[in-house]
Structure 1
């Protein structure tokens, strides 16, 4: 064993090989034929991809394998994108795919997306340019295969919903190289005829390759240029074609397209009954209005006859007479009231009446001082009585009346209030309740304690 070369284990060798493969081939597109397909319970998909000269082991892990739009089967040609790696446990060289599609459909899908992007950039799919379907389609052109299930479904739905609809089936191929040109030609002829209110493009389901005629650029431009609205009902609900994007209305299935184009006859019958009832009501209302106008016209004609005119004039004359009589009566009453008022004024200003008024006023004026004097005298009398009662209460006579006496000198009438004011032999007078006593002082004996 050479000493300068390192010794590797199988796992180390496989790891190095895997790293080299993955770095040299990050992502590759490989086209080939499926073989040895197995799908264990883990959900992974294992298979080989081969051509006439070689094959390679491949794997597609869950959940990528559950997103496939087709069922893998032996011998199917597919196109896949994956990375090259090495399964270290067994040393198997393999491709691990993250995308897988049928080889032919993959090319068609890329062409479909490229054409769609280009037409969309031109504005062919713009919702603003699309037209609404007519409220009631009277004539309908159906461009489809005369032998397919789609035309049977459409005619069945139309017959059930609106049997009176005028339907023309324009037979055409719906698959193959010449189908797109034939459909476009029928579409142009139907629009140029001016016969139809709408055109329906119908076809049953199929693969992308089966529906490819409805992705043809010539057909897409013919739909966009159609002078009448176009309804596209191609394939199943999950299928989309460029005809669906450019059409004025896209229906998921031909049957649904038929339901969109025509109303249900039961709805029309109900609406018709409602309109009939409304028309009857309006007719009755207008009849009543017409009868009322006729009655008014008859009354006007009757009112304009000579006899009616004469009656009307007589009625107006009577009304005017009554009005004049009322006015004269009212004026007479007003005049009488004015005369009565004037008489009353004259009577009020008559000299005798005026003299009587002045005499009555003089009597009232003369009586006023007497009344005032009487009131003053009564007031003074009351005040005098009150003063008398006050003086009487303070009078010495009141004290005398209670048993006391007033002692005064007989010669000058001065009151004697002390023994010092009297001397023996002085003559005094004592006023008692019922008279005056004359006294002579015999002796004076002052008390020890003054009162």
Structure 2
């Protein structure tokens, strides 16, 4: 009997072919588990239900098209093909597409819209309009057949009957609900016949309330010139319309309560205000009477004759003060004038010329004295130097009988420097002669 023996690699290849051809592309729903994002950008995770799980891989070329960020614990629906990871011999699902499952998808869309509008500043408190304290006309945007309208009307009848109520009927569920709500809000703003708008709807699932998460409805609320109070669903339900509205109420009934004051409270406030007004009127009357008495007393004190006498006395005082001030000012000006005259005299050209002449004469006298002294000193010094010069002068030596002998323009100091026949000249103290050397004696004495 022949044995058909496989290698492990071949077996895995055959199994992989069977998996890929036997199932093809399939859709699978479950919960994400062990979700990881390595640096390669691929997604690796397990998809499980209450009894089993399967390993999955979603490569970077596919997961970059996702419009949400998957995490472990998310319920999702995936599309892919079965394959085999030969290295471990594990079969796995190669995911090509992923989307949130059921309500999870709507919740992801809600979160995405919420993030986008929050970036635009549509939820900022500074953009909210204040509600009127005593609205005269209240508009209700809701379904005319819903329980929310009955709840609102019941609350208004109990709390605030004096207000007029205008209903703007609209769909609140389904594909046509969002455009209908937008038209109702726009109609209310165009007519401008209400002081506040209540946008209300009873509770329901996320799918039932989805119209209030549409961006078009949020934009209509934001553009409303009339303040909008949103009361959509139950207290746990929060919609985009709740966040954009000027005020959010947990329920439709609460929206009616928040938009209106309580009649009994108003009556209490009215009674209290009446009593306060009465007390204020009595206090004001007493104050006015006291003030009148004070004014009469002041009027008597301010009698025209009294005031005239005071004014006359003040005029006399001012006249005396003026005379003293004028006299004081005149004295100051006279004193200043005298000072200026003295200063002018001191700086007049004649005085300056006199001072300059005296200074010039003094300088001239000092110059003459200095020149005479300088000349005397120079003459004495010259005579002294002349005598000293004469003492060392060759001419003085000549006067004692000596002569200067010159040969060929040079002074002769030794007889040996002359030869017979040389022409010489001899200079005496008085006069000069020329001679010719006949003989000489060169021996030293």
TM-score (norm 2): 0.46
Bigger radius of gyration, 1 or 2? 1
